[in-house]
Amino acid sequence: MSPVSSSRSLFALARALPFALLLAVLTIELSPFSFLYTGPLLSPAPALAAVTMGPAGTGSAILMAGVVSTITATHNHAWGSQQVYANLLALLVVSVASLATSIARVRKEQELAKVRRISQVSQDVVLHPVPARLNDVTAAGLYLAAEAGARIGGDLYEVLDTPFGIRIIVGDAQGKGLPAVRTAAAVLGAFREAAHYEPELPEVMRRCEAALHRELSRARGDQEAAEPLDPTEQFVTAVLAQVPDTPVVDLVSRGHHPPLLLHRSEADALETSCPLPPLGLEEFLGSHPMPVQTHPFEPGDRLLLYTDGAVEARDPAGNFFDLPAHLAQLSEDGPLGKVLDRLRAFLLDHTRGNLADDTAMIIIERHTRHSSERAPS
């Protein structure tokens, strides 16, 4: 049985428990075992119903408990005894508290559902769905938020078909929460614009850096800070990839983890020959140019771009997740979406489901272009 099916079965069992308890009390009271004292078992039924059901379900359990109490008192000729009235008073108090608790819980769940819907809309605005096919390149994306219930954080990605080839960005905004989301949105907005008009990858990266600085300036204005923000606390690591018509991939990296090239069942990191600081820390860049690293990217090859959550994840013993080794295992694992699903399963199994950081992955594969296909103009 899958974990989802198991959870649903347990939930259904929990919802049936209050009514099963009341039915057991009624059966005992009307049987030869009526000498057993079951009065205290009536009060927990509404409380149990309030845990898993709304006001209607809780009200049904309260009504049934009252009916069972009336039947048993009549059957045992117990009306007028202090014990019967004490049981009814206890049932009344618990019923009122249970109904109020159920109403409050349902309202909180509705508010949470609304927040999640807004979060989903925000994710769709900031992180666009990854197109499955772009000319002779297929692609798939994955986002895992470390915070329970969250759908978006500081990790960012985008895949675009431009006049200069397929262009991709994957990055990680330092920090968490809304500030990281705003930073990621600023960088993505600049990339989406510049990728279509700037012929050179370094210029696209500079446009992203300029957008980051504008966002930080706006943040300083909002905070009315007397002192400038510490630049070491506001930066974005990012890698840009460009897949032209020729069988290569061009990369520009600013402090980001190297992409992994899966070629003939081997996963190799495409290291940069000139490491550069992240966006926002250009004072450490000095006069160094941003070199473009070009690597072979042939039909059948796959390229994985990812954020640090995928390689810095630890198991309970403190061991890091070996992303290249797991990727190499999936060299013949079918569609790209299935590959990412398997990587997600490996990652969650390694961490026992406890991710310490958000994780984003983009995987692409080059295919042989048919003669009927042509490059975008």
Given 119, 152, 179, which residue is the final one in a domain?
119
CA 218 to chain centre: 28
Q: Are 234 and 106 in the same domain?
A: no
Q: Structural domain tally of the chain? A: 2
pTM for the full predicted model: 0.69
**Rounded-to-integer distance, Cα 271 and Cα 256, Å:** 10
**Residue 31 maps to a domain:** yes
Q: Per-residue pLDDT tens, the chain, 377 aa: give them.
A: 555 566 677 777 778 888 888 888 778 777 777 666 666 777 788 888 888 888 888 888 888 888 888 887 777 766 767 777 777 788 888 888 888 988 988 888 888 877 766 666 666 666 788 999 998 899 999 988 776 555 566 789 999 999 999 999 999 988 766 778 888 889 999 999 999 999 999 999 999 999 998 888 877 665 554 445 554 457 899 999 999 999 999 999 999 999 999 988 889 999 888 888 999 887 777 667 788 999 999 999 999 999 988 898 898 888 999 999 999 988 776 899 999 999 999 999 998 888 878 889 999 999 876 534 444 43
Given 119, 149, 179, which residue is the final one in a domain?
119
Q: Quick one: CA torsion of 247, 158, 308, 145, rounded to 10 degrees?
A: -140
Residue type, 368: T
CB-based contacts of 186: which residues, under 8 Å, 6+ apart? 211, 212, 214, 215
Q: Are 134 and 43 in the same domain?
A: no
pLDDT digits (tens, 9 = 90+) for 70-88: 887 777 766 767 777 777 7
**Residue 371 maps to a domain:** no
Rounded to the nearest 10 degrees, the angle between the axes of helix 177-194 and helix 82-126 is 30
Q: Are 62 and 177 in the same domain?
A: no
Q: Are 51 and 80 in the same domain?
A: yes
How much is the pLDDT for 16? Answer: 83
Q: Are 22 and 163 in the same domain?
A: no
Q: Taking the CA atoms of 152, 256, 182 and 124 in sequence, report the sign of the dihedral they define.
A: negative
Q: Are 82 and 159 in the same domain?
A: no
pLDDT digits (tens, 9 = 90+) for 219-278: 766 555 444 555 445 789 999 999 999 999 999 999 999 999 998 888 999 988 888 899
CA 119 to chain centre: 11
**Residue 161 maps to a domain:** yes
Q: Are 46 and 174 in the same domain?
A: no
**Residue 124 maps to a domain:** no
Q: Are 166 and 306 in the same domain?
A: yes
CB-based contacts of 225: which residues, under 8 Å, 6+ apart? none
Burial class (CB in 10 A: 0-12, 13-18, 19+), 248: middle
Q: Are 148 and 238 in the same domain?
A: yes
Residue-range definition of the domain harbouring residue 76: 3-119
> Which tokens sit at 270?
């495409």
CA distances from 101 to 40, 63, 104 (A): 20, 17, 5
Question: What is the DSSP code (8-state) at residue 292?
Answer: P
**Residue 83 maps to a domain:** yes
**Residue 55 maps to a domain:** yes
**Rounded-to-integer distance, Cα 377 and Cα 372, Å:** 15
Q: Are 185 and 334 in the same domain?
A: yes
Rounded to the nearest 10 degrees, the angle between the axes of helix 44-52 and helix 55-75 is 160
Q: Are 112 and 238 in the same domain?
A: no
Q: What is the CATH number of the domain that holds 259?
A: 3.60.40.10
**Residue 377 maps to a domain:** no
**Residue 12 maps to a domain:** yes
* Residue 262 region by backbone torsions, left for phi larger than 0, else alpha for psi between -120 and 50, else beta: beta
Given 85, 119, 153, which residue is the final one in a domain?
119
Q: Are 109 and 136 in the same domain?
A: no
